[in-house]
């Protein structure tokens, strides 16, 4: 099954304790699409400016991503600048320049309107809503967001969540959205806004899924060297939704496997800046790391 994704395609400038990079390829939809492309067909809707180079278009095309919904308009591409300290779980936003996103209205091509799996990657919740107004009867609507929108567009976000089935969100942002420090209670409160399934991303501590009364906990892969955590959340979502769309099965056991594939994709992505690790990553490496995850969490009955 195929996926429709809307989100940012960006230039990022990132500082970590291990290095610095300026105007590198980033964006929530870019990371998501690249990771999901290992599992399913991906159709992207976003906007870039005149300054966006062909080289990046070529990269996304090389991953098989359908770019018929990528608009190029006059102006500058979205830019994000962030810094990580030694606690790599937390990104500090230094600057957000919406640029071409300020006047953007998503135009969903007719060929995308019946796609069964929708991922509303991190972007203005009003734009995410606009996408849902244009599509027909999706099988799964999944969504991500960040503190920038929780602070700036809280009401739009809460309204959007009434139409979302699966919500992925960072630990700190879940607390902020629910205004509740306890994660179990925060998840329950967010569920009351609409989504039946909440997946809370906890950086190096893994991910927690709340699905009805069941809770599933997946670890993060214990990496020795993490270079740049940018995009970990989006590549996690790419592996997760990519696997769900590929298997087209939305029961708990399959969602648990999908979460592990999400964790596998995120673990590779943080090994290098931007999408550099995705340039060489093979399916074989993904399957091998999935097996290592199984080994990591295996223990015997008493």
Q: Is the dihedral of CA 276, 277, 282, 283 positive or negative?
A: negative
Following DSSP, what letter does each residue of 180-197 receive, concatenated?
-SSHHHHHHHHHTTS-SE
| Distance of closest approach, residue 41 Cβ to ligand AMP, in angstroms | 22
* C-alpha span between 153 and 34 (Å, rounded): 28
Can residue 6 be called a binding residue for ligand AMP (CB under 6 A)?
A: no
Can residue 33 be called a binding residue for ligand AMP (CB under 6 A)?
A: no
Where are the alpha helices (H) located in the chain, listed in sequence order?
A: 28-36, 54-62, 125-134, 147-152, 154-161, 171-178, 183-191, 232-247, 252-269, 276-280, 283-297
Residues β-bridged to residue 1: none
Q: Which of residues 134-163 bind ligand AMP (CB under 6 A)?
A: 146, 148
| Distance of closest approach, residue 290 Cβ to ligand AMP, in angstroms | 20
Q: Which of 106, 125, 233, 242 binds ligand AMP (CB under 6 A)?
A: 233
| Distance of closest approach, residue 163 Cβ to ligand AMP, in angstroms | 19
Following DSSP, what letter does each residue of 65-129 receive, concatenated?
-EEEEEEE-SSPPEEEEEEE-S-TT-EEEEEEE-GGGGG------GGGTT-SEEEE-SS-HHHHH
Can residue 96 be called a binding residue for ligand AMP (CB under 6 A)?
A: yes
Lay out the sheet containing 91-97: strands in order across. 19-26, 10-16, 78-84, 91-97
Stretch that binds ligand AMP, among 26-34, 69-77, 206-214, 291-299 (CB under 6 A): 26-34
Stretch that binds ligand AMP, among 25-33, 211-219, 220-228, 287-295 (CB under 6 A): 25-33
Can residue 65 be called a binding residue for ligand AMP (CB under 6 A)?
A: no
Stretch that binds ligand AMP, among 104-112, 126-134, 155-163, 231-239 (CB under 6 A): 231-239
Contact yes or no for 209/250 (Cβ under 8 A):
no
* C-alpha span between 81 and 93 (Å, rounded): 6
Q: Which of 5, 6, 10, 115 binds ligand AMP (CB under 6 A)?
A: 10
Q: Which of 123, 260, 278, 286 binds ligand AMP (CB under 6 A)?
A: 123
Calculate the CA 87 to chain-centre distance: 20
| Distance of closest approach, residue 93 Cβ to ligand AMP, in angstroms | 6
Q: Which of 5, 131, 232, 281 binds ligand AMP (CB under 6 A)?
A: 232
Size of the site for ligand AMP (CB under 6 A): 18
Can residue 27 be called a binding residue for ligand AMP (CB under 6 A)?
A: yes
Stretch that binds ligand AMP, among 27-35, 49-57, 177-185, 283-291 (CB under 6 A): 27-35
Contact yes or no for 228/270 (Cβ under 8 A):
yes
Closest CB to ligand AMP among residues 22, 288 = 22
Tokens standing for residue 208: 């927690």
User: How many CB atoms lie under 10 A from the CB of residue 256?
Assistant: 15
Site residues (vs ligand AMP, CB under 6 A):
8, 10, 12, 26-28, 31, 80, 96, 122-123, 146, 148, 230-234
């Amino acid at each position: 099954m195929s996926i429709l994704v809307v989100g940012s395609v960006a230039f990022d400038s990132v500082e970590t304790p291990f290095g610095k990079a300026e105007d590198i390829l980033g964006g929530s939809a870019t990371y998501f699409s690249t990771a999901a492309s290992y599992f399913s067909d991906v159709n992207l809707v976003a906007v870039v400016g005149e300054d966006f180079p062909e080289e990046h278009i070529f990269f996304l095309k090389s991953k098989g991503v359908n770019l018929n919904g990528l608009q190029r308009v006059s102006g500058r591409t979205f830019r994000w600048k962030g810094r990580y300290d030694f606690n790599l779980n937390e990104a500090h936003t230094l600057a957000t320049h919406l640029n071409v996103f300020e006047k953007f209205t998503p135009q969903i091509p007719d060929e995308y309107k019946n796609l069964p799996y929708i991922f509303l990657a991190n972007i203005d919740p009003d734009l995410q809503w606009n996408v849902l107004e244009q599509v027909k009867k999706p099988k799964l609507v999944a969504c991500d967001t960040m503190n920038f929108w929780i602070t700036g567009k809280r009401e739009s976000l809460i309204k959007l969540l009434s139409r979302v089935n699966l919500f992925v969100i960072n630990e700190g942002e879940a607390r902020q959205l629910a205004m509740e420090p306890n994660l179990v209670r925060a998840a329950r409160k967010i569920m009351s806004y609409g989504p039946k399934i909440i997946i809370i991303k906890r950086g190096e501590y893994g991910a927690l899924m709340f699905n009805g009364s069941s809770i599933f906990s997946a670890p993060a892969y214990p990496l020795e060297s993490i270079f740049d955590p940018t995009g970990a959340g989006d590549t996690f979502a790419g592996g997760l939704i990519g696997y769900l769309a590929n298997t087209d099965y939305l029961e708990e056991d399959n969602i648990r496997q999908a979460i592990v594939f999400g964790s596998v994709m995120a673990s590779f992505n943080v090994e290098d800046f931007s999408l550099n690790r995705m340039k060489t990553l093979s399916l074989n490496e993904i399957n091998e790391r999935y097996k290592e995850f199984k080994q990591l969490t295996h223990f015997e009955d008493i």
